[in-house]
Amino acid sequence: VLEAALIRARTRQQRHFEWLCDLLRIPSVGTLAEHHQDVERAAATLAGWLRDIGMNGVTLLPTGGPPAVYAEWLGAGADAPTLLAYAHYDVQPADPLEEWRTPPFEPTVRGDDLFARGASDDKSQLLAILAAAGCYLETSGRLPINLRLLFEGEEEQGSPHIADFIARHRERLAADAVLICDQAMADAQTPVITTGVRGMAYMEVEVSGPTVDLHSGTFGGAVDNPLNVLVCLLAALQDPVTHRVTIPGFYDRVRPVADEERALLARRALSDAEALALTGVPALAGEEGYTTWERTSTRPTLDINGIIGGFTQPGHKTVIPTHGQAKVSMRLVPDQEPQEIARLFSDYLHSIAPPTVRLEVRLQAGSHPAVVDPRAPAVQAAARAYERAFGASPVYQRGGGSLPIVHELQQALGAPVVMIGFGLPDDNGHAPNEKMHLPNFYRGIETVIHYLALLGLPEEEW
Amino acid sequence: VLEAALIRARTRQQRHFEWLCDLLRIPSVGTLAEHHQDVERAAATLAGWLRDIGMNGVTLLPTGGPPAVYAEWLGAGADAPTLLAYAHYDVQPADPLEEWRTPPFEPTVRGDDLFARGASDDKSQLLAILAAAGCYLETSGRLPINLRLLFEGEEEQGSPHIADFIARHRERLAADAVLICDQAMADAQTPVITTGVRGMAYMEVEVSGPTVDLHSGTFGGAVDNPLNVLVCLLAALQDPVTHRVTIPGFYDRVRPVADEERALLARRALSDAEALALTGVPALAGEEGYTTWERTSTRPTLDINGIIGGFTQPGHKTVIPTHGQAKVSMRLVPDQEPQEIARLFSDYLHSIAPPTVRLEVRLQAGSHPAVVDPRAPAVQAAARAYERAFGASPVYQRGGGSLPIVHELQQALGAPVVMIGFGLPDDNGHAPNEKMHLPNFYRGIETVIHYLALLGLPEEEW
């Protein structure tokens, strides 16, 4: 069964390439209203292919936004494990168009790379799952395990409906493990398993004072300037020397990383030299007592993402403005809770704000951190699958960014979430000239074929 | 001579009113290129009237911007004192036009008020000087003292050429005292003599770090966020409790206010209740150990006038921006020097900025503070003149704002600068529906007539 599927994957590369090009020609930009119909068309196209390869229960499920494409094959029996595989079919906008060497929705091959918006993020990775299932079903009429597929249509909008959706479809999504295909490898030879994502509490802070803009000559010195107060409040959130967040209770729930996992993560971690080169800063800085890779993955952070107030044009105007605003986001690690962190943040600022101003603090967006134990069988099976398809063991990384679906799925299904992917760091995801390295696309299909086979075997037979 | 001039002022009110209306119909908005010719026309009109009333040496002096209108009458002889009287003929833009009840450049009387842009600031005050001179010259053919007139055309642009101009024309402007007519009274019954203005050091601060915007998921924690650093630097400029500026040396040159002057200024000073009502803040705040009126007049201040950086649109974006900027202005009091304060400010920030960012600090604009001794004869003569024209003694105030010309004239001429005026606090200067209280215009003319007479007499004859 496995062997037949692998042979099929190799003989049908042209068909898989054509699927990819067909999907990339549909500008499924979820954030833009003018592409609404394209998003629907992408979903319908996928549903057709899923039916073609023999998946069952193919359906477009309403979410409140673009539909989720669902399909299943549950013929492996109640004793066999069930995998839920996730990817997304929507893409980022293509702007700025003038920076594309070839049009973003006309897939173009240059060397081993296929250039188009969504090539890497996430259409080739979605098709790796779809094609792998097809290679089994079209050769053997069956899969090694039960499989559910979920292709989301609004990941690039921050998955605003995904938590509700998962809650409403818990039974339909029930699985023993979850595979998410939406990541990049360390390089073309080195696959990555992402064993965690950071959560987020994204806050908005507004300090207001005078009811009208005041002349700083007339009232300068008599009232607390909202901007003077705002910078004091924001400066009080973090120790500038140790870079520790000073919000009382902020670190209380931070779970230490076990030595074993730390060693695993350290094997191929972001080096200081890489971080310096990639950022262009004069020198790195971060939380005392931790390395750069820990600071960007296993430790929580606090960043001011935006600030505005008063006169910001060229020249000078001597105004005491009515108000000033800032956006502050904290990346969270297990077991920090976004709602609790938001409350601690707000309580702290309110406790130090002077009574001479009005302070408003809001949670703008939040998501939970999540980790998966690298020793979990579903993770180790992914490692073996990578080894067979790429001939190289994967490295383990904790992602520094946030992927709300990971926590939502873990909570709803009680299953480990395994994050893999076949993109490359220079794929220009979210940027002009996005590309997919085609050999990775084909190896990705083989990786998923191996993964399904491995999950169907007892660990001792891997 | 005095009596004839006063009678003339009363019998010629209609003509003075018409002058005012004629001048207000010329939209001499200096900042707007499309009004360039109007500014020239206003200057030419004034020159014509000055010639008509018998002033000598009437000329339009180039400044680099709109011309300065100069005129003199030096027939009182070398032993008589010389006064330089200053006002400005340019006006603020009239926007927002839709908020004007009647068109800004069609002077309209409602009750005792004349509505038009520039009615109070500063065309009626300029004409008070011109009309007073005319009332003397047209009745007696002479003035009680030597008089030089300087009407500026770019005061509303911050007088960018005035320092150069004064330096180039020191001899032409030479005087024993300077009168500036551009102020407001405390109320319609209470004239004001302004005995000082604050100076200013207006700084721009820029903190930059990464060479490109970074994703806070990927690099959050590894680099100093320029906005996190910027708020720390700005917060370090002032103690949030005592509101003392913490820049080393900032207060070193602050000259204490003598008890006598303090008592004089306290007589009719901004009360806390007034400040609360005018600003709408929940509570006042300011430098420990000083009253609200001192904080806004005799004490230096530090205000952030604007700040911007990163993502400031609605919603959220998890960016570590390349840079952040702020505008910070300090109001200065004698004998603080703007250049020195700018240096202290810059040195301090550079001394506390971490090596993980790049810091740029620039002096954007600066002006010197200035004070005049309230006991100076030229000031006391203004007090007597007010009493005779308004039947009320003036109160003394230190202005909280900045008027660069005061220091420049004091330095260049070595003469006391007396600041008076006939506007009212609710005249809507710089705002829609600017007005002049016409009785104040006519009393203003009489005040200047008395002032010229008083300066021509020994103090014991006042």
pLDDT at B418: 97
Residue of B281, B301, B402 with shortest CB distance to A356 = B281
Cβ atoms of residues B159 and B404 within 8 Å: yes
pLDDT at A158: 82
pLDDT at A151: 98
Under an 8 A CB cutoff, do A309 and B307 touch?
Answer: yes
**Contacts with B296 from chain A: Cβ below 8 Å:** 218-222
pLDDT, one tens digit per residue, over B74-127 is 999 999 999 999 999 999 989 889 999 999 999 999 999 999 999 999 999 999
Q: Is the pLDDT of residue A242 over 90?
A: yes
pLDDT, one tens digit per residue, over B323-357 is 999 999 999 999 999 999 999 999 999 999 999 99
- Rounded to a whole number of angstroms, the distance from the CA of B132 to the nearest CA of chain A is 31
Under an 8 A CB cutoff, do A234 and B228 touch?
Answer: yes
**Contacts with A198 from chain B: Cβ below 8 Å:** 217
Longest dimension (CA), chain B: 84
Name the more confident of A314 and A61.
A61
Closest by CA to A418, choosing from A452, A445, A442, is A452
Cβ atoms of residues A91 and A29 within 8 Å: yes
- Rounded to a whole number of angstroms, the distance from the CA of A428 to the nearest CA of chain B is 14
Residue of A220, A278, A307 with shortest CB distance to B303 = A220
Under an 8 A CB cutoff, do B282 and A228 touch?
Answer: no
Q: What average pLDDT does range A294-323 have in this prediction?
A: 94
Under an 8 A CB cutoff, do B224 and A321 touch?
Answer: no
Q: Is the pLDDT of residue B167 over 90?
A: yes
pLDDT at A58: 98
Q: Is the pLDDT of residue B420 over 90?
A: yes
Radius of gyration of chain B (CA): 24
Amino acid at A106: E
User: Distance between CA atoms of B190 and B90, rounded to whole angstroms?
Assistant: 27
Run of H or E including A195: strand A192-197
pLDDT, one tens digit per residue, over B288-302 is 999 999 999 999 999
pLDDT, one tens digit per residue, over A311-336 is 998 888 889 999 999 999 999 999 99
Residue of B222, B301, B309 with shortest CB distance to A284 = B222
Q: Is the pLDDT of residue A196 over 90?
A: yes
Cβ atoms of residues B181 and B423 within 8 Å: no
pLDDT at A268: 80
Write B248-252 long-range contacts (CB < 8 A, 24+): B248/B344, B248/B348, B249/B344, B250/B300, B250/B330, B250/B336, B250/B341, B250/B344, B251/B300
Rounded percentage of chain A residues whose pLDDT exceeds 70: 100
Closest by CA to A117, choosing from A386, A428, A441, is A428
A447 in helix, strand or coil? helix
On the CB side of A151, CA atoms within 13 Å amount to: 31
Residue of A223, A307, A400 with shortest CB distance to B279 = A223
Cβ atoms of residues B54 and B141 within 8 Å: yes
**Contacts with B236 from chain A: Cβ below 8 Å:** 235
DSSP A245: B
Q: What DSSP assignment string belongs to B67-103?
A: PEEEEEE-TT-TTS-EEEEEEE--B-----GGG-SS-
Name the more confident of A207 and B430.
A207
pLDDT, one tens digit per residue, over B52-86 is 999 999 999 999 999 999 999 999 999 999 999 99
Rounded percentage of chain A residues whose pLDDT exceeds 90: 91
For residue B187, list its beta bridge partners: B190
Q: Is the pLDDT of residue B248 over 90?
A: yes
Q: Which of B204, B208, B307 to mutate to test binding with chain A, by most A CBs within 10 Å of its CB? A: B307
Handedness of CA A404, A407, A413, A415 (dihedral sign): positive
Residue of B303, B326, B355 with shortest CB distance to A282 = B355
Handedness of CA A275, A278, A280, A286 (dihedral sign): negative
ipTM: 0.90
Under an 8 A CB cutoff, do A219 and B282 touch?
Answer: no
pLDDT at B267: 87
| Confidence category of residue B309, pLDDT binned at 50, 70, 90 | very high
pLDDT at B95: 85
- Rounded to a whole number of angstroms, the distance from the CA of B73 to the nearest CA of chain A is 36
Q: Which of A207, A215, A223 to mutate to test binding with chain B, by most B CBs within 10 Å of its CB? A: A223
| Confidence category of residue B270, pLDDT binned at 50, 70, 90 | confident
- Rounded to a whole number of angstroms, the distance from the CA of A368 to the nearest CA of chain B is 14
pTM for the complete prediction? 0.90
Phi–psi pair at A431, nearest 5 degrees: -130, 170
User: Distance between CA atoms of B342 and B328, rounded to whole angstroms?
Assistant: 11
Mention every residue, 6+ apart, whose C-beta is less than 8 A from residue B201: B329, B330, B332, B338, B339, B341, B342, B345, B363, B366
